Chains A and B, each alone.
Chain A
Amino acid sequence: MLLPIKWLKDYVKVDLDTKMIADGLTLSGSHVESIIGLNKGIDNVVVGKILSIEKHPNADKLLVCKVDIGSETLQIVTGATNLKEGDYVPVAKIGAKLPGGIDIQKTNFRGIDSYGMLCSLKELGYEDSVISKEMRDGIFVLDKEYPLGTSIVEILGLDDEVIEFEITPNRPDCLSIIGMARETSATFNIPLEEPEIRINNEVDSIENYLNGIEAPSENCNRYYARVIKDVKIEPSPLWMQIRLMEAGVRPINNIVDITNFVMLEYGEPLHAFDLETVAGRKIIVRQAEEGEKIVTLDGVERELTSADLVIADTEKAIGIAGVMGGFNTEITDSTRYVLLEGANFDSKSIRLTSKRLGLRTEASTRFEKGIDPNLCHLAVDRVCQLIEEINAGVVVKGSMDVYKNPRKEESISLRPSRVRKILGVELSEDEMVEYLNRLDIKSEIEDNIIKSKIPTYRLDIESEIDLVEEIGRLYGFHNIESKPLMGALTRGEKPYDKKIEELAKGILQAMGLNEAMTYSFISPRAYDKIKVTEDSPLRKVIKLLNPLGEDYSVMRTTLLPNMLELLSRNYNRGVEECYVYEIGNIFIPKELPLKELPEERKVLSIGFYGKEDFYFLKEVVNTLLESLGIKDVEYIREENNPSFHPGRTAIVLVDGKNIGILGEIHIDVLENYEMKKRAYVAQIDFHELVKLANLERKYKPLPKYPAVLRDLALVVKEDILVGDIEKIISKHGGGLIENIELFDIYRGDPIPEGMKSVAFSIIFRSHDRTLRDEEINEILEAIIKDLEVTFDAKLRA
């Protein structure tokens, strides 16, 4: 919403600079986006009168003009074709500056000196979008005589500013100059002066021109119409064109400009039809036929559906209600009779039509936010007044009005105690009433209760709390003295699962893993890339109805694709190594399509590529489980997960329950992700980890007796697992083995092919005595014997 300050001051005499107006309005709740200066860099451009125009002797397309600027007469060469002798035009003298940093100098055009430049509106800094068709290609010709040498900045009112506001959706009434004037009036406590609407001369009778209005559609609450006759289509006066251009609207002709002017002024979109083109001279507001076609003002043919509301005559649609008028009934230079429409349409209907057609107009953006239906006649009558004022036509007496549900002023009771309680400020009742009255919410105190009458344009005020806000914002939130929170609740807590999560993260970071974060939605093709089977439950995904694209279209049921994508991205960007983890949700539907919310389950995803291998991954997982106090952990080989290397993958069991998988990524999957380095990934059910975690710790007395260390080196067949050997060692320990550590695996000479040497360090210790060599030897013998029998192991010499 653009608010030209000079226009604002027509209705409220606020004697402050623009910055102060903007600051004040900001603090009372109007959000200022920016302050725009109208002068984009003009200096020394003045009004001149063209005395003569001659052909350039050496150039067909150039003209040589003599221009009187009061103090002197200048010879200026121009290429413009829209000039005639006697025109008043902007002249940039030598030394003048134009927007875009242009400096005007004496120039020689094919042997003729030019002492300045005649300017178009574009050259004066106006956007193409607000320059009228006539002015687009030529020099800006002023509408009448002005004192020669007057600064063009003064004539065009460019020594002013425009404030751009972002209007919140609850305040459509502020999408108008008068609406903002009302806010300004309330904010600075200066009276609002609304235009007095008076038409001096009304002739004839509307019934002679219009055969009636029917509004069968529910989506039209009001249709108010008046007729203008003896219309003379011309450009509108310069002052009006300037106002429109400052507010971002392109001038067209006097009738259309006036309807746009009043729309900006009151916030009520209006439309003018060429009455002679309306078949049957009758207006019917109805739903469109399915497939009905209409060519709109912009010359585009549009196909409608029965959800669209149209303005029709007895034969056809002549406008898409609240969005855009029809091409066939538009005002043209030959229009003699004008039908003015001030209507009120259902905001949802307008919004849907505008959206479906991809057609957003000044009218539709206002209608879709909601408008007070009581503005219809005010605005149309104001148009009539202006038409009369600028002599664009003669107003026909009478109006036609279909108004189904008139909007009435509501009364709301407000308890002063409530205001004080919610705002936390000790305001007096008189102060409250004063703030409300400043906003034109007529209020008075009756039996300690404030009774307020809500103006019908305030669509946002429905209940007491809304009035509390009005008082609060005029008092100023910045003026509220802050007060500390009191109350019984003073202790804040973190839920247990969050504590476990933070603990786990600390451990993972200590192990050198960076924390990552990826999107909750993935591409369904990811499931092919990680090679899961067609019938895998992982493919039971929740799909978005309106994804941004296939890549973000399903809610993930595994974090594996995100992890692989992340590793691949790093790899392909030349990052040498990458160690990361993510804790994030997977989404498991109970049924598809969703009838109720799915289960959201936290998963820990660990992944890396670099110098480390499977054993580091296992170490990370194992360290994490240990630190969380999770016991009875077992790793069993997993050969059948299609995403993972069949020989380098394990399932993590806790108490026999599968809580996750860890391993090297399958070579096919690596290829799918364009990775040429081995990658390792673990996926752990974090929800289970939280359940299993045990943070209780009990002190065990420090050992009093010395430990005995023995090494044991065995030669076994290649396929014997270290874990199985360790199990046998433990079995014979009789509670005396404190630790078993694998310290070497060796293959090669002199170990025979197909065999390997595995060496363990075993620490023995008793808590109640010093161990004797003999008892340790006995244990070792038992271990060796068992290993010989079970695995055909040989003690290595």
Chain B
Amino acid sequence: MENMKDIMKGRLLEIKDEALKTIKEARTLEEFEQLRVKFLGKKGELTKVLRDMGKLAPEDRPIVGQIANEIRDELEETISSEKERLNNELKLAKLNKEKIDITITSKKKKVGHRHPLIATIEELEDLFISMGFSVVSGPEIETVENNFDALNSPENHPSRDMSDTFYITEDILLRTHTSPVQIRAMKEMGAPLRIVSAGRTFRFDDVDDTHSPMFHQLEGLVVDENISMANLIHTLDIFIKELFGPDMKTRFRPHHFPFTEPSAEVDVSCFKCRGKGCEACNFTGWSMELLGCGMVHPKVLEYCGIDSEKYSGFAFGMGIDRITMVKYGINDIRLFFENDNRFLEQF
């Protein structure tokens, strides 16, 4: 019986040595699996030896059992660590093999682009919304009444001529500015009021670099009690700094519009030199006539049924096309309406 114990012990150690040797030689995950089955599986060599446990003296069984367990643990651990090492090597090899040329750019999915004019309009509208203005709109085809009469435009003013304005009938025209929206808003909503409106406008201008029979304006109007020039200046100052940057200066110059009194034109620091003076601004440091504005003429308020003693208001308007051209450095207004794809894709 004594002998049996030693035989089994010897056999177990033999298995261990053989197993460790072959494990070290294994090179694939499959080989590891085969070795595991061969040595540790249900029908494996270790199990086979342990089947003879019954032949051992009862007091020897725990001793041999412990040796067998230790060997099993060691083998399992070796297999799993060797397997992991191999696994890591394989992953590394795979990653290495999968290296690609990241300088290649795919152009399969294209995203669309905003039209720069409309993008500017929406940017401006959002800016004014944040200042408490509501966005409203009006028709492109307007009445002479809304476009001229209600805005205090003198009856024989040259802007009413057919050489300046597109007419459809004697009383109906293509609006020459967005100002008729003011009239509509005041008539419909009354005071107080804080609105902006942008859109298409039309004037009898032949097409060239800076003229187009169709162009765009944005118009703003505030009517409330105690609105003054000081409020107008504040509002437009903020707006211009938001749009063009905090270093932009504004200059309010008295001017004339029939529908505002007093009226002003606003110059801003030259876009090129930012006020230092350069060729582009004729060495004045100013970019001229960016905006027209003024206090709503009492006649216009009264025309719209608003008490001009109780309420006052200011209005302003600007050419979006020019602002957009300045903003993006576009030198030809025709580009806006030609819709060349290579132009549109730049914005």
Contacts and interface: CB of A to CB of B under 8 A. Distances in A.
Interface of A: 26-29, 31, 34, 168-171, 347-348, 351, 355, 421-425, 460, 463, 465-466, 468-469, 472-473, 477-478, 480-495, 498, 502, 505, 508-521, 542-548, 552, 555, 566, 569-570, 573, 575, 577-581, 585, 587, 593-594, 597-598, 600
B103 interface: no
Nearest to A565: B339
A750 B341 CA distance: 45
Interface stretch (B27-35, B40-48, B54-62, B248-256): B248-256
Given A31-B253, A424-B229, A478-B252, A545 B162 contact: yes
Main SS at interface, chain B: mixed
14 contacts: A27-B254, A29-B254, A29-B255, A348-B156, A463-B298, A465-B261, A466-B261, A469-B254, A485-B222, A487-B224, A492-B130, A517-B337, A542-B141, A543-B168
A348 B226 CA distance: 38
A514 B112 contact: yes
Contacts of B100: none
Contacts of B110: 512, 579
A294 to B, nearest CB: 24
A552 B212 CA distance: 12
Given A492-B135, A508-B112, A575 B341 contact: yes
Contacts of A170: 256
A413 to B, nearest CB: 14
A184 to B, nearest CB: 15
A490 B132 contact: yes
B65 interface: no
Contacts of A351: 156, 158
Contact of B262 (A469, A521, A555): A469
B94 interface: no
B78 interface: no
Given A509-B111, A519-B214, A421 B312 contact: yes
A355 B158 CA distance: 10
B299 to A, nearest CB: 8
Contacts of A573: 340
Contact of B340 (A478, A570, A593): A570
A579 to B, nearest CB: 7
Contacts of B136: 495
B305 interface: no
A551 to B, nearest CB: 10
Interface of B: 109-115, 117-118, 122, 125, 128-137, 139-143, 156-158, 161-163, 166-169, 172, 174, 192-194, 200, 202, 204, 206-207, 213-214, 222, 224-231, 233-235, 237, 251-256, 261-265, 282, 295, 297-298, 312, 336-342, 344-345
Contacts of A487: 192, 194, 224-225
A487 B109 CA distance: 49
Contacts of B113: 509, 514-515
B135 A494 contact: yes
Nearest to B167: A545
B313 to A, nearest CB: 10
A422 B229 CA distance: 6
A598 B230 contact: no
A28 B225 CA distance: 27
Given A465-B261, A492-B134, A546-B166, A570 B115 contact: no
- Chain B CB count within 10 A is highest, among A348, A510, A545, A575, for A545
Contacts of B202: 520
Contacts of B344: 514-516, 580
A520 B132 contact: no
Given A27-B253, A468-B262, A542-B141, A422 B228 contact: yes
A26 B168 contact: no
Contact of B255 (A168, A468, A594, A597): A168
A555 B231 contact: no
A283 B235 CA distance: 58
Contacts of B256: 168-171, 460
Contact of B162 (A28, A509, A546): A546
Given A483-B228, A484-B234, A485-B234, A494 B339 contact: no
B231 A485 contact: yes
Contacts of A555: 141, 168
Contacts of B214: 519-521
B60 to A, nearest CB: 55
B140 A546 contact: no
- Chain B CB count within 10 A is highest, among A171, A513, A597, for A597
7 A-B pairs closest in CB distance: A424-B228, A424-B230, A29-B254, A509-B112, A492-B129, A482-B234, A469-B262
Contact of B169 (A26, A509, A545, A585): A545
Given A423-B229, A472-B254, A518 B337 contact: yes
Contacts of B234: 482-485
Given A488-B192, A569-B338, A495 B137 contact: yes
Contacts of B131: 485, 492
B251 A468 contact: no
B255 A472 contact: no
A548 B341 CA distance: 26
Nearest to A517: B115
Contacts of A548: 204, 206-207, 213
A587 B141 contact: yes
Given A488-B192, A546-B204, A514 B341 contact: yes
B192 A600 contact: no
